[in-house]
Copies of this chain bind each other. A is one copy, B any other.
């Protein structure tokens, strides 16, 4: 028996772009053939992109996707391909087609459908009921899709017991911090439990609030990662799988032999016939890809640049606009935008008011200068005064309050959108997760824009990431004063964030416990925070649900982001304190 050479196509599919995805798949198949691969594996729903959401309710969309898989099948010979698509039988299924010898040899239907967090698969798909093994010469390969591999009793178990030496699992698994590590633990367990090689392939790229991080892996039967796909970018990872090692391991592992004897594995076995059913002869094996892993902050940085780039470009924009205040949030967003799109595709606008400090102006200008981006200065004082004059009669006798602060924020929103409308640029908003959580943001003001880059990044991580960027660039890309000065919205005299909010290191810990971990008041208090502060934070979070509902989408980087990931009613009298 030869080894099996497998090509993992970490592909950046675009939702709805059936034709574009089709063409990309065909190109990748040719690449893999040129590199003498026996099998090429594509991500989950590679034809439609993921998640296609309610496009799945359009019959013509389903038919179009089936047309694509049929067109691909007609073109694919001399290599076997496993490709994610939507199958239509008595219902629709999240499926993997096995293409061999210019035909669809079999189709596997995903058995475990996720319907939590950002996932809604029960809304669309019926669950498959049958594990499938394919037989390529002497090698047996079990098929799985994403969630299937997360359960110890999932199909990989019976597939292995029925003889599969290799489990191919295709994914559209969205990123959150540390998830790659979590996946690796699970996959190592599955590999050792099943004495099988696991080939884990994942989608790449941004789709609205989600970023798919690639991070594909091949694990041997000992649970060791022997090859690793790139993180956050497209890749064609070629690996030679040592199938003999699986045989040897199974032969000598008493636990496995015992389990195998006891098992009655019911699996549909499809023998691939015609075309090349022997694996190819190769003189030179591929060298396994190095296994360095990213730090958490590197991961986050790549997630944010990838998500920004894909949102902008996939939606047909080429240029973005950012309101630069001289503060840390907008500075970070600008740095990310430049990394994602290039400095010539990023413009800043500085909109000073009577409350804007000289330092803010200097810092905004220095940032633009460091990044090499153009910056407009558009003073807003005259407009603000015209509002005050116009509203004077209605507000007569009433004291200035948050109203006047919000008017200023909304003037800035209007100016940004005017430039957006006039020049066709996408506005990136600059609010962070701490602010979005407690509603420390103005709806239609600083929240106005198409994409909220750091919406899911807590303020404390905003600082960490800014420092990381400066460190990596080995220069003060983000001016050091921006990192050290006290945060302020500068919407009234001597305003500071800490007049309204607890210190950010405290706030962020409370928010994590409350939002990401669903902890109750006693649980949060047990961490040692002051009762009064915790209750204030909880109230602010609950009261600003209506703002978040009207916020632009932004990139999920934590285990629970706002958006599809957290579906809270606006009308809600529950008091979590």
Interface residues of A (CB under 8 A from B): 14-18, 20, 51-55, 57-61, 64, 115-116, 120, 122-123, 206-208, 310-311, 314-315, 376, 378-380, 382-383, 385-387, 389-391, 394-395, 398, 401-403, 406-407, 410-411, 413-415, 417-419, 421-422, 443-444, 448, 450, 518, 520, 546, 549-553, 566-576
Contact = CB atoms under 8 A, between A and B. Distances in A.
Contact of A60 (B16, B115, B520): B520
Contact of A115 (B15, B115, B573): B115
A134 to B, nearest CB: 31
Contacts of A60: 520, 576
24 contacts: A15-B569, A16-B569, A16-B573, A16-B574, A17-B574, A51-B569, A52-B569, A55-B574, A60-B520, A115-B115, A120-B120, A122-B122, A208-B571, A311-B571, A314-B571, A387-B414, A394-B419, A401-B421, A402-B421, A406-B417, A411-B414, A414-B414, A417-B443, A553-B570
Contact of A53 (B386, B398, B402, B568): B568
A385 B390 CA distance: 12
Nearest to A310: B571
A567 B415 contact: no
Contacts of A394: 376, 378, 419, 422
Contact of A444 (B115, B122, B414): B414
* Of A51, A311, A414, A568, most B-chain CB atoms within 10 Å: A414
B386 A570 contact: no
Nearest to A379: B390
Given A383-B383, A391-B378, A574-B61, A55 B418 contact: no
A66 B385 CA distance: 55
Contact of A386 (B64, B383, B448, B550): B383
Given A16-B575, A383-B390, 4 more contacts: A18-B574, A115-B123, A410-B410, A414-B414
A53 B385 CA distance: 44
Contacts of A552: 546, 549-550
